[in-house]
Amino acid sequence: MSMGTTSSPTPTPAAEETFPWERVCPFQPPQSYELFQTEPIRQVTLRDSGLRTWLVTGYHNIRLLLTDPRISASRKHANFPFYFHAPPEFRTETSFIGYDEPDHGQTRGKAAVTFTNRRVKMLREQIEQITDDAIAAMLQMTPPVDMHFALSLRVPMTVICILLGIPEDKHEFFQENGTVLLGGIATMEQRQAALVDVNEYLYELVALKEREPGDDLLSRAIAEYRNAGQSYEQRDLVNLCRLLMNGGHETTASMISLGTAALLEHPEQLALLKADDSLIDPAVEELIRYLTIGDIAVPRVALEDIEIGGVTIGKGDGILCLVLTGNRDPEVYDNPNDLILSRGKRGHLGFGHGLHYCIGADLARLELQIVWSKLFKAIPTLRLAKPFEEMGSKERAVIYGLWGLPVTW
Amino acid sequence: MAKISYVHLNGTVTVLDVPSGNSVMRGAVLNGVDGIVGQCGGGAMCGTCHVYVDEQCGVQLPPMRPVEDELLYGTASERRENSRLSCQLKITENNELDGLVVHLPEKQL
């Protein structure tokens, strides 16, 4: 069995168990999420940090809270709900994901235009070519092949590197470090070392773009700071770049691998997708809803006492908005635990909600649409190379997913 | 406080007094006006608070930032000359938006 999977068939009572809890099956919420049916907002103790934090669940509670101006995303609060041994740099060296207004808007604004729907659509041909190349290269290999590395990571990594202006020979370096920074099993020392390595390269890259600007996000951000007469530190750009880099590949890669597994494990749904090209847009939305790989990736801190759902979250308390519970909310979705591609639509919480809504949402959508449109046409006999139950899953990782996806054809 | 009129597709009108500090989007969302989603909560990121501004109402609007212009190319309903994102229309102490009339598009998602 691969590292990371220690699913237990009979979970201990959640009250004694530290959070995050494990998914028994990668397609379904942890069993203890049943507790939220009677107590949708409750406190738990976090693993490693030992902090007490609030879990906020349910579609409406989460949407309400994530647009409440009394919450903060800043990592500097003592009770910020880390559920792993976070090095001190995780509190200070963040970018807009960990900023509140006005810093959040100012920093995010430096990258925002690159990720708007219109700009993203312009990338279609390029992403199609990258996907075709990755699939062709995969077909040259002798199966079984680990598709997670051959395709799932390769496509989004290549795209984000092009957007940021990072040369191709650095892709593997970022891939490896991204797994350490966002994975569930790295030690604090490993995370710290990965951060040092990545930053060292990014400082060089920022200096290069300052000297020799190109047609990329980083160069445009530098130009924007300069044109607006705003001062900036190289550190701001390094942190921005690292955020976009990690957010831009690990997430989409996880969706491609886990989503492909979900389709292969739901052959009747896959058959519908294969038979109807127009199903791809709703299919992508439904898979994002169904899998919700960022379930535990929406942490906040209350800046004031907040009354919600009959409880009072105290000033300074940590909060985790469990977006998977919103995406499986029976008040919003009929048979929420079923995968029904045709019903997919935007409006789920898979990209979060509120001011920190995923900046790369439309890019991720397009990448997923292209990959799944092409994959099953290019390899109609694609299948898992071992039973799905034996695939290792990244339990308790910030971004959920599979450690690998061995496939054959 | 500004009086904002939201005209639904079927012609009915919801009139709200939106307090200063709020956007036209937030006024709608907090009062359950169907037809405005505001998925990103007002960050000019998602384009799901698209409205058509009634040009007859004579209200002077704030200029459009580049990111709003970009987003309006990707809205679910077609962009027209009078398209704006309602999260970018903020009610200020000076009440410049008082009397604004916005038409809700067919769809936001």
Please say if the pLDDT value at position A249 is more than 90: no
Average pLDDT over residues A139-168: 93
Q: Measured between beta carbons, which residues in chain A are less than 8 angstroms from residue B71? A: 116-118
Q: Quote the CA–CA distance of A56 and A309 in Å, as a whole number.
A: 9
Question: A197 burial class (0-12, 13-18, 19+ CB within 10 angstroms)?
Answer: middle
Residue A50 in domain? yes
Counting residues of chain A whose pLDDT is more than 90, the rounded percentage is 73
How many structural domains does chain A have? 1
Please say if the pLDDT value at position A168 is more than 90: no
Residue A2 in domain? no
Please say if the pLDDT value at position A343 is more than 50: yes
Q: Quote the CA–CA distance of A72 and A69 in Å, as a whole number.
A: 8
Please choose, from the candidates B44, B49, B51, B64, the residue with its C-alpha nearest in 3D space to the C-alpha of residue A355. B44
- Report which listed range, A7-16, A83-92, A125-134, B22-31, is most confident: A125-134
Please choose, from the candidates A93, A69, A51, the residue with its C-alpha nearest in 3D space to the C-alpha of residue A302. A69
Please say if the pLDDT value at position A10 is more than 60: no
pLDDT band at A358 (very low <50, low <70, confident <90, very high): very high
Q: Quote the CA–CA distance of A87 and A221 in Å, as a whole number.
A: 28
Smallest Cβ distance to A357: which of B40, B71, B73?
B40
Q: Which helix (H) or strand (E) holds A291?
A: helix A280-291
Q: Quote the CA–CA distance of A362 and A348 in Å, as a whole number.
A: 14
Q: Measured between beta carbons, which residues in chain A are less than 8 angstroms from residue B42? A: 67, 355
pLDDT band at A12 (very low <50, low <70, confident <90, very high): very low
Residue A6 in domain? no
Please tell me the predicted confidence (pLDDT) of residue A7.
42
Please choose, from the candidates A204, A238, A197, A246, the residue with its C-alpha nearest in 3D space to the C-alpha of residue A221. A238
Check: pTM over 0.90? Answer yes or no: no
The boundaries of the domain holding residue A359 are 13-408
Cα of A125 to nearest chain B Cα, Å: 18
Whole-number Cα distances in Å, A220 to A171, A200, A213, A249: 21, 21, 8, 21
Phi, psi values for residue A258, rounded to 5°: -70, -35
Please tell me the predicted confidence (pLDDT) of residue A76.
95
Q: What is the 3-state secondary structure (H, E, C) of A22-86?
A: CCCCCCCCCHHHHHHHCCCEEEEEECCCCCEEEEECCHHHHHHHHCCCCEECCCCCCCCCCCCCC
Q: Measured between beta carbons, which residues in chain A are less than 8 angstroms from residue B29? A: 67
As a whole number, the mean pLDDT across chain B is 92
- Chain B residue with Cα closest to A349: B39
Average pLDDT over residues A344-372: 94
Q: Quote the CA–CA distance of A258 and A288 in Å, as a whole number.
A: 10
Q: What is the interface size between A and B, counted as CB pairs within 8 Å?
A: 58
Please tell me the predicted confidence (pLDDT) of residue A2.
36
Classify residue A372 as left (phi > 0), alpha (psi -120 to 50) or beta. Answer: alpha
Please tell me the predicted confidence (pLDDT) of residue A31.
95
pLDDT band at A171 (very low <50, low <70, confident <90, very high): confident
Please tell me the predicted confidence (pLDDT) of residue A184.
61
- Residue A156: which CATH number? 1.10.630.10
Q: Quote the CA–CA distance of A62 and A81 in Å, as a whole number.
A: 16
Please tell me the predicted confidence (pLDDT) of residue A67.
85
pLDDT band at A144 (very low <50, low <70, confident <90, very high): very high
Q: Hey, what are A381's tokens?
A: 């006999």
Average pLDDT over residues A201-211: 94
Q: Quote the CA–CA distance of B60 and A105 in Å, as a whole number.
A: 25
As a whole number, the mean pLDDT across chain A is 91
Residue A7 in domain? no
Q: Which helix (H) or strand (E) holds B15?
A: strand B13-18
What is the tally of helices (H) and strands (E) in chain B?
Answer: 2, 5
Q: Quote the CA–CA distance of B28 and B7 in Å, as a whole number.
A: 11
Q: Measured between beta carbons, which residues in chain B are less than 8 angstroms from residue A347? A: 37, 39, 109
Average pLDDT over residues A156-179: 87
Please say if the pLDDT value at position A15 is more than 80: no
Whole-number Cα distances in Å, B75 to A297, A328, A333, A375: 27, 26, 24, 28
Q: Hey, what are A376's tokens?
A: 């099953």
Strands (E) in B26-99, as ranges, are 50-53, 83-85
Please tell me the predicted confidence (pLDDT) of residue A183.
63
> A353 and B39 in contact by Cβ < 8 A?
yes
Residue A346 in domain? yes
AA letter at A311: V
> B29 and A67 in contact by Cβ < 8 A?
yes
CB-based contacts of A360, cutoff 8 Å, min separation 6: A115, A244, A247, A248, A251, A252
Whole-number Cα distances in Å, B99 to B2, B54, B83: 7, 10, 17
pLDDT band at A80 (very low <50, low <70, confident <90, very high): very high
Q: Quote the CA–CA distance of B109 and B107 in Å, as a whole number.
A: 6
Residue A5 in domain? no
pLDDT band at B7 (very low <50, low <70, confident <90, very high): very high
Please tell me the predicted confidence (pLDDT) of residue A109.
85
Q: Interface pTM (ipTM) of the complex?
A: 0.71
Residue A328 in domain? yes
Q: What is the 3-state secondary structure (H, E, C) of A373-406?
A: HHHHHHCCCCEECCCHHHCCECCCCCCCCECCCE
Q: Hey, what are A394's tokens?
A: 């990244």
More confident residue, A135 or A108: A135
Please tell me the predicted confidence (pLDDT) of residue A6.
40
- Report which listed range, A79-93, A108-122, A333-347, is most confident: A333-347
> A361 and B46 in contact by Cβ < 8 A?
yes
Residues 79-98, chain B, touching A (beta carbon < 8 A): none
Residue A268 in domain? yes
Q: What is the 3-state secondary structure (H, E, C) of A198-255?
A: HHHHHHHHHHHHHHCCCCCHHHHHHHHHHHCCCCCCHHHHHHHHHHHHHHHHHHHHHH
More confident residue, A5 or A386: A386
**Three-state secondary-structure class, residue A192:** helix
- Chain B residue with Cα closest to A102: B43
> A355 and B40 in contact by Cβ < 8 A?
yes
AA letter at A100: D
Kindly state whether B37 is in contact with chain A, defined as any CB-CB distance less than 8 angstroms.
yes
